[in-house]
Amino acid sequence: MSIYFEEREQAPAFEREQALLGRLPAALEKARERAPAIAEQLQGVDLAGLRRRSDLAGIPVVRKSELLQAQLAMRQGQAGPHLDAVSRIFGGFSTIGWKQAARVFASPGPIYEPESWRTDYWGFARALYAAGFRSGELVHNCFAYHFTPAGSMMETAAHALGCTVFPGGVGQTEQQVQAIIDLAPSGYTGTPSFLKIILEKAKEMGVALPSLKRALFSGEAFPPSLCKWFSEHGIDGYQAYGSADLGMIAYETSAREGLVVNEDIILEIVRPGTGEPLPDGEVGEVVVTTLNPDYPLLRFGTGDLSAILPGVSPCGRSNARIKGWMGRADQTTKVRGMFVHPGQIDQVIKRHPQVGKARLVVGGNIAHDTMVLQVELLGQGADLLHDIAATVRELTKLRAEVQVVEPGSLPNDGKVIDDVRSYE
């Protein structure tokens, strides 16, 4: 049995580059015809002239905040009264609508993303295969199945491999333990922190979960210390990096040296806040062009920081590698698998006039993230702190402690989210 999901994973780098760039003009031409936002982004661009990766630098980068604003503008009727439903919902970036889309998801913002009927739409089957998952196995999937696409990302990938899936979702730790005892899945997909919680709960209950041998993690940092912890508990854990907009971007292999870039995207590292490509090895923002015909994002700025690693992976996969997630180019951060945006904290302040200034401090350590919203108050109210906490939960889908600080004590440094977590 091959160690590769597809043999093209070991293709010479030059052949891969030529194949990707050869597909690009036709893919963008179709996108321009069917996705108004892509047509606008490509104004004045000669598609036939896109022969080298460096030619992409002349196309503006679209960042997540701009995608959100485009969707909001169309939903609020600012782009004209005669939009079809698909353009209105997806901001002009999708080429498919109802019927062609199997599902639609919502990420914080909200940003809506389509999923078509294509097999392994999100592209995670390659990452599952590299992590050791094989046809005929049972996968215990503990990504959320509501609103965000994470649950579907792993389920559709597992189905593409020929695996059966138990939709565990999140929460209900004791029931998760019991299901693993009863069903004996060989693999887990979800965040590393939740599997750690499940294993700790099993120990507390006095039971073992020997069937679990492998895991594919995403949505959180997976440092070497946590990889070692799972190994000591009999689980071979790997990580994959992706987003709700782009699907799978890069994945870990047995080499344990960075993350190999997905075969069906063009990944650039650019200077944060610009579209200027950086030399290999320099840390910058991850920008991705995807050849997804249904949601064809072009030079999409993820807001994540990384860098290209030199050379070829010892596992034999010849595509470029990135160091992995190295932080955010902006203050947006991820807590328990959910992005928290500075704009959400701004909405909290606007909903509560008694709050003069606020800062969200994200702390804790592996598997134990904490959120504390520090607020300077201009007035008091009997249930004010409870109401603020409820607003944070409504907007971010996460719980936070609200802490009152002295007026004028929060630094005047423009920081809205302060991530002080330790990954030691």
Beta strands 214-217 and 236-243 are: parallel
pLDDT, tens digit, 9 for 90 and up, residues 79-138: 555 567 677 889 999 999 889 999 999 988 889 999 999 999 999 999 999 999 999 999
Structure confidence at residue 420 (pLDDT): 87
Terminal alpha carbon distance of the chain: 37
Q: Where are the domains of the chain?
A: 335-419
Structure confidence at residue 83 (pLDDT): 60
Q: Which residues have a Cβ under 8 Å from the Cβ of 189 and sit 6 or more positions away?
A: 128, 139, 140, 141, 142, 143, 154, 158, 215, 216, 217, 218
Q: What is the dihedral of CA 281, 288, 336, 197, to 10 degrees?
A: -70
Structure confidence at residue 330 (pLDDT): 74
Domain covering 335-419, topology = GMP Synthetase; Chain A, domain 3 (3.30.300)
Structure confidence at residue 421 (pLDDT): 85
Token pair listed for 3: 């160690």
Structure confidence at residue 342 (pLDDT): 78
Structure confidence at residue 88 (pLDDT): 82
Structure confidence at residue 136 (pLDDT): 97
Cis peptide before 110 (omega within 30 of 0): yes
Low-confidence ranges of the chain (pLDDT < 70): 1, 78-83, 85, 366-367, 413-415, 423-424
Q: Give Cα 126 to chain centroid, integer Å.
A: 16
Measured between alpha carbons, how far is 70 from 60 in angstroms, rounded to an integer? 15
Measured between alpha carbons, how far is 362 from 421 in angstroms, rounded to an integer? 6
**Beta partners for residue 242, in sequence order:** 248
Residue found under tokens 């344990």: 256
Q: What stretches of 271-400 adopt beta strand conformation (E)? A: 284-290, 300-306, 308-309, 321-322, 333-335, 338-340, 355-365, 368-377
